[in-house]
Amino acid sequence: MKGFKIIVLAKQVPDTRNVSKDAMKEDGTMNRAALPAIFNPEDLNALEQALRIKDKYPQSTITILTMGLPKAADIVREGLFRGADNGVLLTDRKLGGSDTLATSYAISQAIKTIGNFDIILCGRQAIDGDTAQVGPQAAEKLNIPQVTYAEQIIDINEKNITIRRRLEHGVETICSSFPLLITVHGSAAPCRSRNAKLTMKYKYAKTPDEIVQTGVDAELYKNKPYLNIKVWSADDINADEQRLGLSGSPTKVKKIEMVVLQTKESKKLSSNDSDIKMLMGELSEKHVI
Amino acid sequence: MANFYNDNSDLQFHLTHPLMNRIIELRERGFADKNKFDYAPSNLDDAIDSYQKVMELCGEICADVIAPNAEANDIEGHSIENDHLKYNSHTLENYEALRKASVWGITLPRKYNGLNFSNVPYIMVGEMISRADGGFANFWGLQDCAETINEFASEELKQEFLPLAAQGKSLAMVLTEPDAGSDLQSVQLKARYDADKNQWFLNGVKRFITNGDADIQLVLARSEEGTGDGRGLSLFIYEKDKHCQIVRRVENKLGIHGSPTCELVYKDAPARLLGDRKMGLIKYVMSLMYCARLGVGGQSVGIAEAAYREAIKYANEREQFKSPIIKFPAVYQLLGNMNAKLKGMRSLLYETARFVDMSKLLQEIQNNKERTLTSDERADLKYYKKMADAFTPLLKLFSSEWCNQIAYDALQIHGGSGYMKDFPIERITRDARITTIYEGTSQLQVVAAIKGVTTGIFSQRMAELDSMMANNENLQQQRNLLLQMTNDYENAIKTVESFKCQEYIDFQARNLVEMAGNIIVSYLLFTDSIRNDKFLNNANIFLNLAIAENAMKFKYINNGNPNDLDWYK
Please judge whether B102 and A196 are an interchain contact, meaning their C-beta atoms are less than 8 angstroms apart. Answer: yes
Please judge whether B49 and A203 are an interchain contact, meaning their C-beta atoms are less than 8 angstroms apart. Answer: yes
Assess contact for B424 and B410: CB atoms under 8 A: no
The pLDDT score that the predictor gives to residue A52 is: 97
Strands (E), B56-119: 79-81, 84-86
pLDDT tens per residue across span A199-210: 999 999 999 999
Any chain B CB within 8 A of the CB of A192?
yes
Question: Where in chain B do CATH 1.20.140.10 domains reside?
Answer: 9-166+282-436
User: B41: which chain A residues are within 8 Å (Cβ-Cβ)?
Assistant: 200
pLDDT tens per residue across span B425-462: 999 999 999 999 999 999 999 999 999 999 999 999 99
Eight-state DSSP code of residue B434: G
Please judge whether A194 and B101 are an interchain contact, meaning their C-beta atoms are less than 8 angstroms apart. Answer: yes
Any chain A CB within 8 A of the CB of B49?
yes
Assess contact for A171 and A151: CB atoms under 8 A: yes
Please judge whether B65 and A193 are an interchain contact, meaning their C-beta atoms are less than 8 angstroms apart. Answer: yes
**What chain B residue is nearest to A224 in terms of C-alpha separation?**
B38
The pLDDT score that the predictor gives to residue A267 is: 78
Which of B40, B101, B115 lies nearest to residue A193, judging by beta carbons?
B101
Q: B110 pLDDT exceeds 70?
A: yes
Give contacts of B 60-119 with A, CB under 8 A.
60-61, 64-65, 97, 100-103, 106, 115
- The enclosing H or E element of B209 equals strand B199-210
User: A194: which chain B residues are within 8 Å (Cβ-Cβ)?
Assistant: 57, 60, 101
Buried b (16+ CB within 10 A) or exposed e, A87-117: bbbbbbebbeebbbbbbbbbbbbbbeebeeb
User: B115: which chain A residues are within 8 Å (Cβ-Cβ)?
Assistant: 196-197, 200
A281 part of a folded domain: no
**Which residues touch B214 (CB under 8 Å, ≥6 apart)?**
B142, B169, B170, B171, B172, B240
Task: Among B43, B49, B54, pick the best mutation site for testing chain A contact (most A Cβ within 10 A).
Answer: B54
Q: How far apart are CA B103 and CA B91, in angstroms?
A: 16
Q: A29 pLDDT exceeds 70?
A: no
Q: How far apart are CA A181 and CA A144, in angstroms?
A: 7
Task: Among B24, B48, B51, B57, pick the best mutation site for testing chain A contact (most A Cβ within 10 A).
Answer: B57
The pLDDT score that the predictor gives to residue A134 is: 93
Which of B53, B61, B100 lies nearest to residue A199, judging by beta carbons?
B53
Assess contact for B419 and B426: CB atoms under 8 A: yes
Question: Shortest Cα distance from B87 to chain A (angstroms)?
Answer: 21
The pLDDT score that the predictor gives to residue A271 is: 81
Give contacts of A 71-110 with B, CB under 8 A.
81
Q: Say which CATH number the domain at A50 has.
A: 3.40.50.620
Strand partners, A164: A152, A173
Q: B214 pLDDT exceeds 80?
A: yes
What is the number of CB-based contacts under 8 A between chain A and chain B? 51
Which of B64, B65, B103 lies nearest to residue A196, judging by beta carbons?
B103
pLDDT tens per residue across span B216-226: 999 999 999 99
pLDDT tens per residue across span B236-275: 999 999 999 999 999 999 999 999 999 999 999 999 999 9
The pLDDT score that the predictor gives to residue A251 is: 87
Percent of chain B with pLDDT over 70: 100
A257 part of a folded domain: no
A137 part of a folded domain: yes
A273 part of a folded domain: no
**What chain A residue is nearest to B110 in terms of C-alpha separation?**
A197
Within 13 Å and on the Cβ side, how many CA atoms surround A38?
17
Please judge whether A196 and B61 are an interchain contact, meaning their C-beta atoms are less than 8 angstroms apart. Answer: no
The angle that helices B442-454 and B476-498 make with each other, rounded to 10 degrees, is: 100
Question: Shortest Cα distance from B1 to chain A (angstroms)?
Answer: 10
Any chain B CB within 8 A of the CB of A224?
yes
Could you give the ipTM of this predicted complex?
Answer: 0.93
Q: How far apart are CA B222 and CA B245, in angstroms?
A: 17
Residue A37 backbone zone (phi > 0: left; psi -120 to 50: alpha; other: beta): beta
Eight-state DSSP code of residue B266: E
Task: Among B38, B95, B129, pick the best mutation site for testing chain A contact (most A Cβ within 10 A).
Answer: B38
CATH 1.20.120.470 applies to domain B442-568: yes
Confidence of residue B283 (pLDDT cuts 50, 70, 90): very high
pLDDT tens per residue across span B519-565: 999 999 999 999 999 999 999 999 999 999 999 999 999 999 999 99
Please judge whether B115 and A197 are an interchain contact, meaning their C-beta atoms are less than 8 angstroms apart. Answer: yes
Q: A1 pLDDT exceeds 70?
A: no
pLDDT tens per residue across span A239-260: 999 999 888 899 887 877 777 7
A169 part of a folded domain: yes
- A172, A178, A181, A183 alpha-carbon torsion, rounded to 10°: 30
**DSSP string covering B502-568:** HHHHHHHHHHHHHHHHHHHHHHHHHHHHHH-GGGHHHHHHHHHHHHHHHHHHHHHHHH--GGGGGGG
pLDDT tens per residue across span B186-200: 999 999 999 999 999
Integer-rounded Cα radius of gyration of chain A: 22
Residue B175, Cβ neighbours under 10 Å: how many?
A: 26
**Which residues touch B543 (CB under 8 Å, ≥6 apart)?**
B478, B481, B482, B522, B525, B526
User: A199: which chain B residues are within 8 Å (Cβ-Cβ)?
Assistant: 50, 53-54, 57
**What chain A residue is nearest to B39 in terms of C-alpha separation?**
A201
Question: Shortest Cα distance from A17 to chain B (angstroms)?
Answer: 11
Q: Which domain holds residue A163?
A: 5-248
Assess contact for B73 and B258: CB atoms under 8 A: yes
Assess contact for B74 and B66: CB atoms under 8 A: no
- A108, A66, A143, A115: which is closest to A248 by C-alpha? A108
A271 part of a folded domain: no
CA distances from B389 to B208, B365, B382, B490, B512 (A): 26, 19, 11, 21, 17
pLDDT tens per residue across span B117-149: 999 999 999 999 999 999 999 999 999 999 999
Eight-state DSSP code of residue B78: -
Alpha helices in B414-475 (DSSP H): 415-419, 424-433, 442-454, 457-470
The pLDDT score that the predictor gives to residue A28 is: 61
Please judge whether A193 and B102 are an interchain contact, meaning their C-beta atoms are less than 8 angstroms apart. Answer: no
Question: Where in chain B do CATH 2.40.110.10 domains reside?
Answer: 171-277
CA distances from B117 to B47, B50, B174, B365, B392 (A): 9, 10, 26, 16, 20
pLDDT tens per residue across span A160-198: 999 999 998 899 999 999 999 999 999 999 999 999 999
- A58, A189, A194: which is closest to B100 by C-alpha? A194
pTM over 0.80: yes
**DSSP string covering chain A:** ----EEEEEE-EEE-GGG--GGGB-TTSSB-GGGS-EEE-HHHHHHHHHHHHHHHHSTT-EEEEEEESSGGGHHHHHHHHHHT--EEEEE--GGGTT--HHHHHHHHHHHHHHH---SEEEEES--TTT----HHHHHHHHHT--EEEEEEEEEEE-SSEEEEEEEETTEEEEEEEESSEEEEE-TTSPPPP---HHHHHHHTT-B-HHHHHHHT--HHHHHH-GGGBPEEE-GGGGT--GGGSTGGG----------------------SSHHHHHHHHHHHHHTT--
**Which pairs with CB-CB distance under 8 Å and at least 24 residues apart come from B553-556?**
B553/B492, B553/B511, B553/B512, B553/B514, B553/B515, B554/B488, B554/B489, B554/B491, B554/B492, B554/B515, B556/B511
A104 part of a folded domain: yes
Any chain B CB within 8 A of the CB of A196?
yes
Mean pLDDT of all residues in A10-28 = 78
**Residue B182 vs residue B569, higher pLDDT:** B569
The pLDDT score that the predictor gives to residue A42 is: 97
Mean pLDDT of all residues in B208-233 = 96
Q: How far apart are CA B195 and CA B202, in angstroms?
A: 14
Sign of CA dihedral B150, B151, B157, B161: negative
Question: Shortest Cα distance from B144 to chain A (angstroms)?
Answer: 20
Reply yes or no: is the peptide bond before residue A179 cis, omega within 30 of 0.
yes
Domain total of chain A: 1
Q: How far apart are CA B530 and CA B475, in angstroms?
A: 9
Within 13 Å and on the Cβ side, how many CA atoms surround B415?
10
Task: Among B46, B50, B94, pick the best mutation site for testing chain A contact (most A Cβ within 10 A).
Answer: B50
Q: How far apart are CA B156 and CA B225, in angstroms?
A: 27
Percent of chain A with pLDDT over 70: 97
Structural domain B171-277, CATH architecture:
Beta Barrel (2.40)
Assess contact for A183 and B30: CB atoms under 8 A: no
Q: B116 pLDDT exceeds 90?
A: yes
Q: B2 pLDDT exceeds 90?
A: yes
Domain B9-166+282-436 sits in which CATH superfamily? Butyryl-CoA Dehydrogenase, subunit A, domain 3 (1.20.140.10)
Please judge whether B102 and A197 are an interchain contact, meaning their C-beta atoms are less than 8 angstroms apart. Answer: yes
Please judge whether A194 and B39 are an interchain contact, meaning their C-beta atoms are less than 8 angstroms apart. Answer: no
Assess contact for B11 and B124: CB atoms under 8 A: yes
**What chain B residue is nearest to A41 in terms of C-alpha separation?**
B1
Question: Shortest Cα distance from B114 to chain A (angstroms)?
Answer: 9
Residue A165, Cβ neighbours under 10 Å: how many?
A: 18
Strand partners, B209: B262
Q: How far apart are CA B201 and CA B11, in angstroms?
A: 45
Q: Note the maximum CA span of chain A.
A: 74
* Residue B6, amino acid: N
Any chain B CB within 8 A of the CB of A171?
no
- A178, A141, A140, A144: which is closest to A60 by C-alpha? A178
Burial label for B369, CB within 10 Å (0-12, 13-18, 19+), is: exposed
A173 part of a folded domain: yes
Buried b (16+ CB within 10 A) or exposed e, A44-56: bbbbbbbbbbbee
Q: B421 pLDDT exceeds 70?
A: yes
- A50, A13, A14, A6: which is closest to A192 by C-alpha? A50
